[in-house]
Amino acid sequence: MSDRFDKILSALLTTAAILIAATLVRREFFARPQAAAASPRPEYSANWTDFLASGYTIGDPSAPVKILGFSDLECPFCKTFHASILSIRKELPNDVAFVSVHLPLGNHRFALPAARALECARPESKFVEMLDVLYAQQDSFGLKTWTSYAYEVGIRDTARFARCARDTVKVQAIEDGIAIAKGLRVRTTPTILVNGWRYTGGLEEKKLLRVVRDLLAGKQPE
């Protein structure tokens, strides 16, 4: 009886594997190709400076180019964009400031807790260090405690940090970011405003650097 059951189960698994393989082959070779959507030209938000105070400014607040970014700490595209920001600010440290604005998306389980942990690092003046560590170890969300990240960036009062991270009271900076994004109809991360010029989905590093240089030269970006 057991031998017969094993044979039936084996046959079912083999059939299922064949069906899955056939589906994948069909998708690969017979699916109709889809044209990539054209990148829209940037839109200008005249009141963009009103939003600067709602984010955390990294760099000189008087820098001639300010990149305001709506970010989700669990978003892999935001992680890539963050690396681009670090590179550009290293190349143009006096010309570019980055304003980090929270937009934790509902489809990311750890986005909101990560945003809270980042804000909990602010009283210890470790916002920038925590931002870097959270993006660098994004794959560890849910596997490590938020306090362990705090320890890594040198936060001394880890007991206070742990209480802060566990708290359920809404964080104003996070709520402000969500409200601004809603008002601007921002639904994608990263979405950025480069001196008011809005790019949905961010920009790859070379393109972003070109936009920054255009603005520094007094030109309208494309």
At 177-207, the pLDDT tens digits run: 999 999 999 999 999 999 999 999 889 999 9
Q: d(Cα 162, Cα 146) in Å, to the nearest integer?
A: 7
pLDDT of residue 37: 35
pLDDT of residue 222: 77
Q: d(Cα 189, Cα 178) in Å, to the nearest integer?
A: 12
When the pLDDT of each residue in the chain is averaged and rounded to a whole number, the result is 85
Helix or strand or coil: residue 193?
strand
Q: What angle do CA 74, 105, 112 make, to 5 degrees?
A: 65
pLDDT of residue 42: 85
* Alpha helices in the chain, H assignment, sequence order: 2-30, 76-91, 111-120, 127-136, 146-152, 158-166, 172-184, 205-216
Tens of pLDDT, residue by residue over 20-41, are: 344 333 333 333 322 223 346 7
Residue 142 clears pLDDT 70, i.e. is over it: yes
Q: d(Cα 194, Cα 220) in Å, to the nearest integer?
A: 11
Burial 47-81 (b: 16+ CB within 10 A, else e): ebeebeebbbbbbeeebebbbbbbbbbbbeebbeb
Angle at which helices 127-136 and 111-120 pack, to 10 degrees? 150
Least confident piece of the model among 27-31, 108-112, 128-132? 27-31
Quick one: CA dihedral 164, 165, 168, 169, positive or negative? Answer: positive
R_g of the chain computed on alpha carbons = 23
